[in-house]
């Protein structure tokens, strides 16, 4: 199947999951199990799934054919070479293509914004900083013209380029341009393109990067955008193989972003057509492609299986002219199949994990609440069936006993309310310990110190201090979390010991994951800093950019920690609360039945029938939930006990 169809299937599948989650939320509401917090949690994941995008990032040295490849993979049906691709340096600014319901446009960010502290992500949230050109999607020609902005350059004095961190002494020396008065720089720093193309509409997002050391001068690309892409497509040219600059880029930016697992990575060996030699014919052609791949795989230190020999140029031409033979020759199919199969199935796994992580515990609780409710009703029924209600003393005794139970229960509920208040205070401490104001204060202090220190060494010390401070903050939160966890466990234990509320295992909050992420950011930053191929003059601008992007990332992690702590504090006791409510209702209805029975013995049969009738709807509720869980494709690890048992004992 083609990538297009597979992507369609994937987005259909995602729609089904979204629908199942919506059904689950309805289910909670229908049975009075919904509360504001869990509703928020569910809406959050729904929102996340709705905005799910699959990003494919294309990175390589200049002129390897990234843009041509994008055109041939995705935009051939426009009938033109939609994105500008030409010999030499072409694409001048990183370009994201996606679909935005708001309209069709190209938005361009001034290169001068490099001087500001604001990160790219922050700029993206505010369209007013961008220059916008509207696109006429019915006219590929108009779009093609507008896209010429992607290659726009201008001449500026050397000093200006230097201030922007775009003057590279070493490179200029290589080009013999050290004495130049003026330097050519890109007009734009970043481009966002939205248009209603089928694939983009279905959640595909494409990131095209310029070869021209953009990855080295824009740390956010390497640190945020490449790692978060679903797949990185690294492009080599068959005629040049792995040059020193290809290898530099691979080592500093690509291998880092993909981690050791090399997940979501393809290396395209482009321009295979250039290896064609009439004299050696088909077999010679095949052999030279093979040998080029073999050599390149060895240099990059990765499996040959990750390589895809392709001719992007032939593929684009073949698709535009509907020439099946040429398309076959271009070998684009192999790459398309890889994107469809591997990338999309990986994405499914990730998405399933996200759903499970964010609402799996809620679903588990719903399940155990329903099962407990069924078990209790069943027990009550069996007990009533056995009791000899002819014996008046017996009914009286049972009533007295139930009333006692009710009283001690009410006392315990009061105790629960008291514990809940204590928990509330404790939880607030936890949430406050991660308050964004505290984090921002730490960041503000670092920024101030940083602007004073002019040396890279000084900046490095500052960033170290920032991370130490943030680590301390998290450590504080760890201590508070431990206290809070103990309290939650104690509250649950009390109800478990006294009322047999076995099924509730409180969902516990942990700081570990955020600590891990923070360390990760720190390490990545250090790696980037030490590998960045920047000259002294460029360095301070780049290092500054690097640090603002690290700071931004660290702040995001802590923001999430703060939000998660809040959600957890708000929801952790609610299943227990639901169970307490159920239990209370049960005692009350038992009392009511006993009262009725003591008034007239004839109502015994009625009461038993009433209890029996209650079981059906609970079973139904359970069955619905099980069905929804299947639709959500949630694996709770207990598929064997699908139905409510032991209904067989009920006659
Ligand atoms: N022979 C041949 N030439 C190709 C192929 N793919 C691309 N080219 C040519 O290589 C040149 C560079 O292609 P681009 O797509 O602009 O390369 P790029 O990697 O996007 O380069 P930058 O935008 O500068 O980073 C263009 O002249 C293309 O026509 C191919 O498969 N075979
Ligand atoms: Mg390009």
- Do 171 and 309 fall into the same domain? no
Least distant ligand from the CA of 65: 1
- Do 277 and 162 fall into the same domain? no
Give the total number of structural domains in the chain: 2
- Do 204 and 139 fall into the same domain? yes
- Do 120 and 182 fall into the same domain? no
pLDDT of the residue at 648: 41
* Pocket mutation for ligand 1, best pick of 76, 90, 216, 292 (most atoms within 8 Å of C-beta): 90
pLDDT of the residue at 288: 94
What is the whole-number distance in angstroms between the Cα of residue 65 and the centre of ligand 1?
A: 3
pLDDT band, very low/low/confident/very high, at 621 (cuts 50, 70, 90): very high
Work out the average pLDDT over 472-496. 86
In degrees, rounded to 5, the angle at the alpha carbon of residue 532 between the alpha carbons of residues 526 and 535 is: 125
Nearest CA residue ID for atom 2, ligand 1? 271
pLDDT of the residue at 117: 78
- Do 255 and 313 fall into the same domain? yes
Tokens of 288: 């030279």
Ligand 1, atom nearest to 235 Cα: 19
* Pocket mutation for ligand 1, best pick of 84, 309, 313, 329 (most atoms within 8 Å of C-beta): 313
**Lowest-confidence segment of 26-40, 297-311, 515-529, 618-632 by average pLDDT:** 515-529
**573-576 contacts: CB < 8 A, separation 24 or more?**
573/420, 573/423, 573/488, 573/491, 574/35, 574/37, 574/38, 575/365, 575/368, 575/369, 575/504, 576/416, 576/491, 576/492, 576/495, 576/501, 576/504, 576/506
Which residue, of 266, 298, 330, is where some domain finishes? 330
Task: Determine, yes or no, domain membership for 498.
Answer: no
> Is residue 237 pLDDT above 80, yes or no?
yes
Which residue, of 277, 306, 330, is where some domain finishes? 330
The domain that holds 132 is classified in CATH as 3.40.50.300
pLDDT band, very low/low/confident/very high, at 651 (cuts 50, 70, 90): very low
pTM: 0.82
Task: Determine, yes or no, domain membership for 2.
Answer: no
DSSP label of 194: E
Tokens of 22: 């919506």
Work out the average pLDDT over 318-326. 96
Work out the average pLDDT over 437-461. 79
> Is residue 532 pLDDT above 60, yes or no?
no
**Lowest-confidence segment of 135-139, 314-318, 390-394 by average pLDDT:** 390-394
Which residue, of 163, 186, 209, is where some domain finishes? 186
Alpha carbons 27 and 535: distance in angstroms, whole number: 61
Task: Determine, yes or no, domain membership for 635.
Answer: no
What is the whole-number distance in angstroms between the Cα of residue 68 and the centre of ligand 2?
A: 7
> How many Cβ atoms are within 10 Å of 439's Cβ, its own excluded?
20
Work out the average pLDDT over 56-75. 95
Task: Determine, yes or no, domain membership for 211.
Answer: yes
Shortest CA distance to 363 belongs to which of 43, 634, 14?
Answer: 634
What is the whole-number distance in angstroms between the Cα of residue 265 and the centre of ligand 1?
A: 20
- Do 110 and 247 fall into the same domain? yes
Q: Hey, which of 256-260, 509-513, 525-529, 537-541 has the most confident mean pLDDT?
A: 509-513
pLDDT of the residue at 388: 77
pLDDT tens digits along 129-156:
999 999 999 999 999 999 999 999 999 9
Shortest CA distance to 204 belongs to which of 3, 17, 345, 390?
Answer: 3
Alpha carbons 597 and 396: distance in angstroms, whole number: 10
Task: Determine, yes or no, domain membership for 513.
Answer: no
The 3 state secondary structure assigned to 554-585 is HHHHHHHHHHHHHHHHHHCCHHHHHHHHHHHH
- Do 164 and 310 fall into the same domain? no
- Do 159 and 131 fall into the same domain? no
Task: Determine, yes or no, domain membership for 458.
Answer: no
Query: Could you tell me where the DSSP H helices lie in 434-455?
Result: 436-452
pLDDT of the residue at 649: 42
DSSP label of 114: G
Task: Determine, yes or no, domain membership for 174.
Answer: yes
- Do 288 and 158 fall into the same domain? no
Cis upstream peptide for 395 (omega within 30°): no
Identify the domain containing residue 167 by its residue range.
153-186
Work out the average pLDDT over 458-462. 77
Task: Determine, yes or no, domain membership for 204.
Answer: yes
- Do 94 and 204 fall into the same domain? yes
What is the whole-number distance in angstroms between the Cα of residue 189 and the centre of ligand 2?
A: 14
pLDDT tens digits along 581-593:
888 888 888 888 8
- Do 233 and 218 fall into the same domain? yes
User: To the nearest whole percent, how much of the chain has pLDDT over 70?
Assistant: 93
- Do 180 and 283 fall into the same domain? no
Ligand 1 site residues, Cβ closer than 6 angstroms: 60, 62-68, 85-87, 89-91, 210-211, 270-271, 273-274, 311-313
Q: Hey, which of 69-78, 179-188, 463-472 has the most confident mean pLDDT?
A: 69-78
> Is residue 228 pLDDT above 80, yes or no?
yes
- Which residue is listed with tokens 């006659």? 651
- Considering the chain, what is the average pLDDT of its residues? 86
């Amino acid at each position: 199947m083609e990538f297009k169809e597979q992507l369609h299937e994937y987005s259909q599948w995602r729609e089904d999951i979204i629908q199942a989650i919506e059904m689950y939320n309805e289910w909670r509401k229908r049975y009075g199990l919904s509360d504001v917090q869990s509703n928020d949690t569910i809406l959050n994941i729904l929102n996340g799934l709705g905005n799910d995008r699959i990003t494919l990032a294309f990175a390589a040295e200049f002129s390897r054919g990234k843009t041509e490849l994008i055109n041939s993979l995705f935009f051939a049906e426009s009938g033109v070479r939609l994105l500008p691709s030409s010999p030499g340096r072409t694409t001048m600014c990183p370009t994201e293509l996606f679909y935005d319901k708001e309209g069709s446009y190209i938005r361009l960010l001034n290169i001068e914004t490099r001087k500001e502290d604001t990160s790219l992500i922050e700029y993206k949230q505010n369209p007013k900083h961008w220059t916008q050109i509207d696109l006429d999607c019915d006219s590929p020609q108009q779009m093609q013209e507008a896209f010429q902005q992607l290659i726009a350059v201008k001449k500026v004095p050397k000093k200006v380029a230097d201030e922007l961190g775009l003057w590279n002494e070493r490179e200029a020396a290589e080009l013999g341009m050290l004495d130049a008065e003026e330097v050519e720089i890109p007009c734009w720093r970043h481009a966002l393109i939205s248009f209603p193309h089928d694939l983009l509409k279905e959640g595909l997002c494409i990131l095209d990067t310029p070869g021209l050391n953009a990855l080295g001068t824009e740390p956010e690309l390497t640190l945020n955008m490449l790692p978060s892409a679903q797949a990185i497509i690294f492009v080599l040219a068959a005629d040049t193989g792995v040059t020193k600059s290809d290898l530099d880029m691979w080592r500093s930016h690509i291998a880092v972003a993909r981690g050791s697992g090399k997940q979501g990575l393809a290396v395209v060996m482009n321009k295979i057509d250039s290896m064609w030699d009439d004299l050696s014919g088909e077999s010679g052609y095949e052999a030279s492609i093979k040998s080029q791949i073999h050599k390149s795989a060895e240099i990059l230190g990765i499996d040959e299986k990750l390589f895809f020999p392709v001719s992007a140029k032939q593929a684009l031409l073949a698709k535009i002219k509907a020439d099946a033979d040429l398309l076959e020759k271009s070998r684009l199919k192999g790459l398309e199949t890889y994107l469809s199969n591997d990338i999309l199935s990986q994405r499914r796994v990730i998405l399933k994990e996200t759903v499970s992580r964010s609402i799996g515990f809620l679903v588990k609780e719903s399940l155990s609440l329903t099962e407990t409710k069924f078990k209790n009703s069943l027990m009550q029924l069996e007990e009533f069936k056995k009791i000899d209600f002819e014996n008046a003393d017996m009914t009286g005794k049972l009533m007295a006993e139930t009333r006692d139970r009710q009283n001690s229960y009410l006392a315990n509920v009061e105790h629960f309310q008291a514990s809940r208040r204590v928990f509330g205070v404790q939880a607030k401490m936890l949430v406050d310990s991660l308050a964004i104001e505290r984090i921002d204060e730490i960041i503000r202090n670092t920024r101030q110190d940083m602007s004073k220190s002019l040396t890279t060494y000084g900046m490095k010390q500052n960033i170290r201090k920032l991370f130490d401070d943030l680590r301390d903050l998290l450590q504080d939160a760890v201590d508070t979390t431990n206290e809070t966890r103990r309290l939650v466990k104690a509250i649950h234990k009390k109800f478990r010991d006294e009322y047999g509320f076995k099924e509730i295992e409180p969902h516990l909050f942990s700081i570990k994951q955020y600590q891990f992420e923070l360390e990760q950011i720190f390490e990545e930053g250090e790696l980037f800093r030490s590998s960045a191929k920047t000259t002294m003059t460029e360095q301070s601008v780049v290092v500054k950019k690097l640090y603002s992007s690290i700071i931004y990332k660290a702040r995001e992690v802590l923001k999430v920690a703060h939000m998660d702590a809040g959600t957890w504090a708000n929801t952790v006791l609610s299943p227990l609360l639901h169970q307490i409510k159920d239990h209370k209702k049960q005692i009350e209805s038992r009392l009511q039945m006993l009262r009725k029975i003591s008034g007239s013995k004839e109502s015994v049969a009625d009461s038993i029938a009433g209890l029996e009738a209650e079981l059906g709807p609970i079973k139904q509720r359970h069955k619905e939930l099980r069905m929804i869980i299947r639709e959500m494709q949630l694996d709770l690890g207990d598929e064997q006990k699908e139905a409510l048992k032991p209904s067989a004992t009920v006659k």
